[in-house]
Structure 1
């Protein structure tokens, strides 16, 4: 790790920390406030990959993973209205989803880095975010994986309801996952703007030195 990597590590740590706090607060019926901060992790990973390469990006990912593990450990010790704020299934889902999706993002970005400036960050984030959502919500809330933590009753997440209040009938956790995924995709598109501006600014500064 070099001094140049420190801003990326700090940014990733702050995003993971903020997301773990904000996930406790609801936004409407299907989301939490954490859904709007967590996708920024993909922006940080892609910027580090573009500016410093995949090795630096992976270091930032592992730093974020460690912060996430610490947050999960703390969350298991805090009792909420219905038990610990973080259950074993949520902790496993969060950790596995983050590490898998972010490392996949790094790999896809690196494979596509020679294409159009927007292709690598967009494709890597879209695929990584989709994998992240699928892994987290299925591990944390799917009734088919209840053997992971038999004492944790997640039957509420399996309630059959119209998807997002208007679509076909599906388990509640599927609506939560779809809403989360839609936010990730929207932010992936918006993140192309700061990605482009930061990369151009970095190159301008590098040309002057």
Structure 2
């Protein structure tokens, strides 16, 4: 492995592990603590892309994916109050969403890298985060996909409630997805400052 990407791999692995642990703990009614750590993965990918290019960024993504798979396998063996901490649908949703969204982020960033410094990280993270949220929550909790794991009862996620407590009536999982998406978009904006600072420091070292 190229030494230049080792810090990126370590950072991505740490984020994935932390998010898999923190997703078990609720933050309010619609979120878990993992919602605040996972979006940092896009920051890591974008920094690697800007400083080292598409190839190294993809390697970091694949490393994070492998760590995520390992976390999911461990989670399936840990029994919680209602069964395994990680079900097949959650494992599928997590893996597919992560790999698809992160690789999309890399591709979009590369297309926009010649523009203003903030356009590539902002646009790639916005789009990647949106795809990530849509894929994960629909695969993991949508009633239309119960055939993926018939023995897993996710009827609780289909409970009809006002959107985030104030909007039109929708399935509970949609509110969870929207809350998660809003956090991702907010952190995408906040991440522009550390992105700028980290890239500037790393580019000085590379030069």
TM-score (norm 1): 0.98
The structural deviation recorded for 1:2 is 1.1
Instruction: Specify the alignment match of 1:112 in structure 2.
Output: 112
Instruction: Specify the alignment match of 2:20 in structure 1.
Output: 20
What per-residue deviation string (whole Å, max 9, x for no partner) do you get for residues 155-201 of structure 1? 00000000000110000000000000000000000000000011111
Q: How is 1:55-134 mapped onto 2 (pairs within 5 angstroms)? A: 55-134=55-134
The alignment of Structure 1 onto Structure 2 pairs a total of residues equal to: 207
Instruction: Specify the alignment match of 2:199 in structure 1.
Output: 199
The structural deviation recorded for 1:107 is 0.3
- Distance (whole Å) between structure 2 residues aligned to residue 202 and residue 21 of structure 1: 30
- Distance (whole Å) between structure 1 residues aligned to residue 6 and residue 138 of structure 2: 33
Instruction: Specify the alignment match of 1:43 in structure 2.
Output: 43
- Distance (whole Å) between structure 2 residues aligned to residue 200 and residue 21 of structure 1: 31
Q: How is 1:113-192 mapped onto 2 (pairs within 5 angstroms)? A: 113-192=113-192
The structural deviation recorded for 1:204 is 2.8
Q: Which runs of 5+ in 1 are unaligned?
A: none
- Distance (whole Å) between structure 2 residues aligned to residue 176 and residue 188 of structure 1: 18
- Distance (whole Å) between structure 2 residues aligned to residue 114 and residue 29 of structure 1: 41
What per-residue deviation string (whole Å, max 9, x for no partner) do you get for residues 124-170 of structure 1? 00000000000000000000000000000000000000000011000
For the residue of structure 2 that corresponds to 1:150, the secondary structure is coil
What per-residue deviation string (whole Å, max 9, x for no partner) do you get for residues 8-33 of structure 1? 00000000000000000000000000
TM-score (norm 2): 0.99
What per-residue deviation string (whole Å, max 9, x for no partner) do you get for residues 85-107 of structure 1? 00000000000000000000000
CA RMSD of aligned residues (A): 0.7
Q: Which runs of 5+ in 2 are unaligned?
A: none
